[in-house]
Amino acid sequence: MTTALATPACPCGSGKPFASCCEAYLRGNAQAPDAEALMRSRYTAYTLMDEPYLLATWHASTRPTALKLTEGDANAQPQWIDLKVKAHKVEDASHASVDFVARYRINGKARKLEELSYFVKEQGRWYYLSAYA
Ligand SMILES: [Zn+2]
C-alpha cells in the first residue's frame, strides 16, 4: 500500500486512485466507457474546475458556451465534498441515466445537489445531455 500522498484518491469517490480512475478521461487518454464513468469524471472535473473537459463532455445540443467556474468571488463557488451515485440505469446502447447526490459547501454552508442526469452516446462517446433535478 502506497501513501495517500503518492496516490491521491479520486475525487469521484470510486475508492480508486485518481491516476487509475478519472485522470485518463480528463487528460483525454481514454474515453469514459459508460454513463456512470462519465458522470463521475465530470464531478471530478468540477472539483478541479476543469471547464474544457466539462464542455467537451456536454452534448452540443445543450452545452452552455462557458461555465465561468473560476470567475467572481471564490467564496461563491461551490467546494465539492463528495459524490454518491445512487443508480445507473442503461436505457439502451446509447441512452442512460445516473441518479446521484453531490455534497458541497458554498458560503460556508453545506448543501447537496440531487440530480438525475441523462447521457447519450454518439460516435462511440458518452455525453452529458440534461438533468432532471
Ligand atoms: Zn474517479
> What are the boundaries of each domain within the chain?
18-64+77-132
Measure 80 CA to ligand 1 centroid, in angstroms: 14
Report the 10 Å Cβ neighbour count for 10: 22
Instruction: Report the DSSP pairing between strands 79-92 and 95-106.
Output: antiparallel
| 18-64+77-132 CATH pick, 3.40.30.10, 2.40.160.10, 3.10.450.50, 3.40.50.720 | 3.10.450.50
Calculate how far, in angstroms, residue 91's C-alpha sits from the geometric centre of ligand 1.
23
71 CA to middle of ligand 1, Å? Answer: 25
* Mean predicted confidence (pLDDT) in 106-120: 95
Q: Which strands, in side-by-side order, build the sheet including 95-106?
A: 79-92, 95-106, 109-122, 125-132
CA–centroid distance, 42 to ligand 1, in Å, is 9
* Ligand 1 geometric centre to CA of 38 (Å): 9
Which residues place a Cβ less than 5 A from the ion ligand 1? 10, 12, 14, 21-22, 40
Model pLDDT, residue 98: 98
**Burial level of 76, CB count in 10 A (0-12/13-18/19+)?**
exposed
Averaged pLDDT for residues 7-35: 95
Lowest mean pLDDT among 3-7, 15-19, 33-37, 62-66: 3-7
- Rounded to the nearest whole angstrom, what is the distance from the C-alpha of residue 37 to the centroid of ligand 1? 7
In sequence order, the 6+-apart residues with CB closer than 8 A to the CB of 28 are none
Contacts of 66 (CB under 8 A, 6+ apart): 51, 55
- Stated length of the chain: 133
Query: Mean per-residue pLDDT for 69-91?
Result: 88
Q: What angle do CA 98, 45, 126 make, to 5 degrees?
A: 45
